[in-house]
Amino acid sequence: MSGDADTLRLMEVLLTGEIFNRHAELDLNDLTPVCRELFSSGEGSAAIRRPVAISDGTIKRALGIADAHARLEGNPFVAYEEFGQRIKITTLEPAAQWFLKQGGKTLIAKNPALAFYFEHVDSVGIKYTDVRASNPPYEDTRAYLNTKVSTLVASDEKIKNALDLVILSAPDEVEQRMEDLVCTPEQVRIITKVHHALSHREFLQKHRIYEVGKLLFVGPPGTGKTSLALAISHSLHMPVLEVRLSMITSQYLGETSKNIDRIFELAKHITPSILFIDEFDFVAKSRVADDHGAMKRAVNSLLKNIDRISLVRNGVLLIGATNHPQLLDEAAWRRFDEVVEFSLPDETMREKILKTVTATISCRFDFRKLAKDTDGFSGADLRLMVKEAVLSALMDNRSEIDPADIEKGIATVRNRETIRRMNWL
């Protein structure tokens, strides 16, 4: 019996199950995402009852490998029970040694439960704490968030109404990652400050320092405000509630104010969380242009809620974003302890963005020259340009981008901008 990839994956699962059963000190975050799914008592459930049972059916569902027991037939360390189609390890230590000799070390390095068992083996040289730290936390998953939200809805019907007003994402659902973004030193400094504030919440509470973690992102469209707000969710391991103020206004008197209250209460209930309010300038526009008493009350409700929410007290990071900071009056402006600027990237930054966006793509052009030729392009423009260049190459049955492809991408971006500026009236 050889140590082919499928066999090693099957043995990884069986060994993980056996080790997890034997060591009650191991928890959900000692299991890889696949093993959590395999061992859970039901879809989206956080409950894993020991002893965990592994069957042909659960393996096929999680790994896509059919007839697992047949693939492991002949392995002296594996037993198959016809009743229930259960598969299990018979003798742990010999099975573990077989797994290691057949090339399982790379899987051990990504599996906390296995690292826990193999840490004492000198030839492995893997630290359990390091492997566990790099394993995606269960608290980052949609399953965990669903469990949390279900509990809240069951206890308070108002929570259900609030959920209809936001886009709620678990950290592992967020595509944006900090390593995929090119941030300015000032942006990095502020995000680092938030990390430290979260790590020292008790100290800040003790000294009554509460006005931390209210950020206002300002800058033209396409400069990365939304991308950074979402990427922080993954970095801080906090779900994000995304809302656009223009979408929660209601034609019914008083409903807009109630909607704002509901959103802030939801963020506090889901804590720790990120409340990301886009189109924040809508507040200023409404305040100046609308004399309707209900709208004024809604604006006052928003400002009042911002005053009452705190990263230190409530575990909620508030991020507002606007393309029009000049529209915000002092009352709105002073409620944020950090104003984060998102300007159009300079030449050096454009080169970094281009290299980041094309990191996995074969390119045949001069990055420095292209950065110089794309003056005035936002980060979103550069990504659009690269996407069009890739499609151009693929349509020509090529996987490498050349200067001609880039020219087509540049033309697409500039044509879009020309259309946007046209006056159709």
pTM of the model: 0.84
For tokens 């970094």, name the residue: 352
The residue among 242 and 85 whose pLDDT is bigger is 242
pLDDT score for 423: 66
CATH number of 347-420: 1.10.8.60
pLDDT at 225: 95
- Inform me whether the pLDDT recorded for 161 exceeds 90: no
Instruction: Tell me: pLDDT of 288 over 60.
Output: no
Q: Where are the domains of the chain?
A: 5-135, 140-341, 347-420
Work out the average pLDDT over 8-31. Answer: 95
> Which tens digit of pLDDT belongs to each residue from 332-357?
888 999 999 999 999 999 999 999 99
Dihedral angle at the C-alpha atoms of 377, 381, 385, 388, nearest 10 degrees? Answer: -160
**For residue 2, what pLDDT is reported?**
45
Domains 140-341 and 347-420 belong to one CATH topology: no
Residue percentage of the chain with pLDDT more than 70: 93
Q: Average of pLDDT values for 252-268? A: 84
Tell me which DSSP letter residue 65 carries.
-
What are the respective helix, strand and coil percentages of the chain, to the nearest 5? 55, 10, 35
Please give the Cα distance from 169 to 70 (Å, whole number): 40
For 370-419, write each residue's pLDDT tens digit: 999 999 999 999 999 999 999 999 999 999 999 999 999 999 999 998 88
DSSP character string of 270-294: H-SEEEEEE-THHHHHHHHH---HH
140-341 fold: Rossmann fold (3.40.50)
Q: Dump the DSSP string for 12-44.
A: HHHHHHHHHHH-TT--GGGS-HHHHHHHSSSTT
Pick from 294, 298, 303: nearest CA to 248: 298
pLDDT at 16 over 50: yes
Q: What is the mean pLDDT of residues 178-206?
A: 94
Of 97-106, 114-123, 288-297, minimum mean pLDDT range: 288-297
Distance, CA of 397 to CA of 260 (rounded, Å):
51
Residue 328, pLDDT score: 82
DSSP codes of every residue in 167-233: EEE-GGG----GGGS---HHHHHHHHHHHHHHHTHHHHHHTT-----EEEEE-STTSSHHHHHHHHH
At residue 63, does pLDDT exceed 60?
A: yes
Query: What pLDDT sits at residue 1?
Result: 42
pLDDT score of 384:
96
| Residue of higher predicted confidence among 6 and 296 | 6
Confidence of residue 31 (pLDDT cuts 50, 70, 90): very high
Instruction: Determine the pLDDT at residue 290.
Output: 52
Phi first, then psi, for residue 167 (nearest 5°) are -100, 110
Q: Give the position of tokens 């959920």.
A: 163
- Which of 29 and 420 is assigned the larger pLDDT? 29
